Structure 1
Amino acid sequence: FVKEAFTENADYDWNRFDFVVSEMIGALDELLTMLGERHALPEQRLHVKEYREVGLGVMGLADLALSMRLQYGSPEFLKFLDVLMRRMINTATKATALRAKDLGVFPKYDYEKIAASKFYKDTIDADTDELVKKYGMRNSRLLSIAPTGSISNIYGVSGGVEPFFQINYTRRIVSMFDEEKTITVWEKTPMALAKKMGVEPEKLPAWALVTSQNLDFIDRANVQATIQKYVDTAISSTFNLNNSATVEDVMNIYTTAWAKGLKGATVFRDRCAKIGILAGINENTEDLNPATPPHVHVEEKWTNKKTNEVKEYVTHISLSSSGHIPEKIEKELCPLCGDVLVKKQGCIQCNNPECVYEKCAI
């Protein structure tokens, strides 16, 4: 969609963008008609008929940023992205309205409910609303951002709304027969930009070398939040963190995601127990900053409805790399400090880490 890509005169082809979005909404609607009866459950088939939800997404967002000579996550990029996504939802809505004109609205369509929603009020332009008022909507949902991990590799662009993972990286491929292979992948767009600028990829300016490994999570969240404003379902994407990330860093990401209105956020910390799909070239997979496995206990009160007898229980849960182990006993208080006693690996111990009380079976 970018004319004169990688140059100072780079310009977005809005007319082509409008055409492609409209065509794709029509194609996805046709797929519902063709494949809607193939869902396994009758409830699924009924839902398809009544709501006709589609989910047009994007991929190659990091490539777009470089093609426009914009730094992924920068204020200039966010401003462009806001215009792009508003245009996308309005173009998609116009397309579904025009299909409703010819094919009818989805059975559960209710203009008053739709128009009263905060999403509709915040994103739909007046001219788009006029079409919806006149013809209705063929589809109840329009945009949905998938991770596009495999198909983006096929096309040689960045996945979904993610930044580049790295300029080059190793990708693990596990077949259905559990045969594992690794391949080295070089991102095509940074290579093309480097060629246009007449430099080696490693010598590209800093704005062109933004990856998931060096992008501040706030900038990453701002990109997703800008897109989420115009996506009527959700966005699947991953915050890839360095091994040095702490529990507090992960918590900050989730609280920030919630505060910015993200409907979903996934975090993957490098070198965790589960090796990621993407990894840097020749990277050591040892966790250099392991967190202390958490231990929690849950208190419950059960009442026998026949006898009205009340019993209290404490379940202590130990988490490890191999899973979790629940240990449940009747609630009992420590005779030394009064805290709750829990069962840990065959012993009854005080939950207070400063207390030494325990009783073990011999």
Structure 2
Amino acid sequence: MPRWYAREEALRLALNFFQGDELRASVFLHRYALKDPEGRLLEATPEEMWQRLVQGVTRVEKGATQEFSWLFSDFRFRIKEAAYWESTRLARQRGSFPAFDPKEHIKSPFIQSLPEALIQAVEKGLRNAALLSIAPTGSISILAGVTSGIEPIFALTYLRHAGGQVFLAEHPLLKRYRRERGGEVPDWPTAHTVDPFQRVHLQATLQRHVDQSISSTVNLPRETPKEVVENLFLTAWKEGCKGITVFREGSREEVIEPLPPVGVCTFCRTA
């Protein structure tokens, strides 16, 4: 079990160094700062991060949604608290951001969700207008070689259309899995097999601890009725999501197309 205080201390240092830029701070933490009590890096490689994501999504698919959501929620709460404490400290040193209005900020439900002592500190000053996000997603995550926010794996193998060309892509963790297991194809859940309403529930759970909107696309099959799409948007609104993206296959020209994993028959879906 990671030692939370080490993560929180690393976050404070990173936010201080990067002037509140959480994306740059997160990259720094993943590469250098997150270590267990024995000094080993936590989530040291993209493959290890993907492995944890796959295991987590598998638990969601098998019904352990509450446990998985609680784990994420607890982690993000600690990140939120550490980030805001550091921003109040920076405000004392360097001043609040120009548009800071203590009366308006304190009214925010997000600020009101913080511990009382932290609310009082925020009232005295805040260095950053916003501190938290869950990023990157989409093409940026592919470029960075990291997980796509809180989204499940889109597909183990897929075609990507870009610049008038088509590229065959395979998930990096799948390559490692097949290499280590003699070509065996894993039965991992992907964006098209995870319950879309569970996706929304997870996003809403984390939204309580993120001051910006969360980028997460819910993928739906072509035959999804409009009533389901409507209910997804209503569910996201009722549960407190600041935004939600839904993509139903066929609603626009394909950019990426899911395929069976390399080595699997397209028609019979067996190795």
Q: Which residue number in structure 2 is paired with residue 115 of structure 1?
A: 106
In structure 2, how many angstroms separate the alpha carbons of the residues matched to 1:78 and 1:102? 36
Task: Note the 1:250-269 alignment, pairs <5 A.
Answer: 250-269=229-248
Q: Residue 112 of structure 2 aligns to a residue in which SS?
A: helix
**Matched ranges for 1:166-177 at <5 A:** 166-174=155-163
- Residues 57 and 145 of structure 1 are in contact (CA less than 8 Å); yes or no, is this contact kept in structure 2? no
Q: Is the 8 A contact 1:57 1:146 kept in 2?
A: no
Report 1:46-85 matches (<5 A).
Answer: 63-66=51-54, 71-72=59-60, 74-85=65-76
Structure number, greater radius of gyration: 1
Count residues with an aligned counterpart.
Answer: 238
TM-score w.r.t. the length of structure 1 is: 0.56
* Deviations 1:226-266, CA, capped at 9 Å, x for gaps: 11111112112211111221222211211111111111111
In structure 2, the CA distance between the partners of 1:193 and 1:185, relative to structure 1 (3 Å rule), is: closer
Does the 8 Å CA contact 1:237/1:266 hold for their aligned counterparts? yes
Aligned residues: CA RMSD: 3.3
Q: Runs in 1 of length 4+ with deviation above 4 angstroms?
A: 54-63, 67-70, 190-196, 198-201
Give the gaps of 5 or more residues in structure 2: 28-45, 262-271
The structure 2 residue matched to 1:182, chosen from 134, 157, 167, is: 167
In proportion to residue count, which structure has more strand?
A: 1
Quickly say closer, same or farther: Cα 1:201–1:272, change in 2 above 3 A. farther
Deviation at 1:181, TM superposition (A): 3.3
Larger RCO (CA under 8 A, 6+ residues apart): 2
User: What's 1:17 paired with?
Assistant: 7
Q: Normalized per residue, which structure has more helix?
A: 2
Instruction: Return the match for 2:222 from 226, 230, 243.
Output: 243
Q: Shift in Å at residue 163 of structure 1?
A: 0.9
Q: TM-score w.r.t. structure 2 length?
A: 0.73
Taking a change above 3 Å as real, the CA distance of residues 163 and 246 of structure 1, as seen in their structure-2 partners, is same
Q: Return the offset for 1:202.
A: 2.6
| Equivalent runs, 1:191-230 vs 2, <5 Å | 202-204=185-187, 209-230=188-209
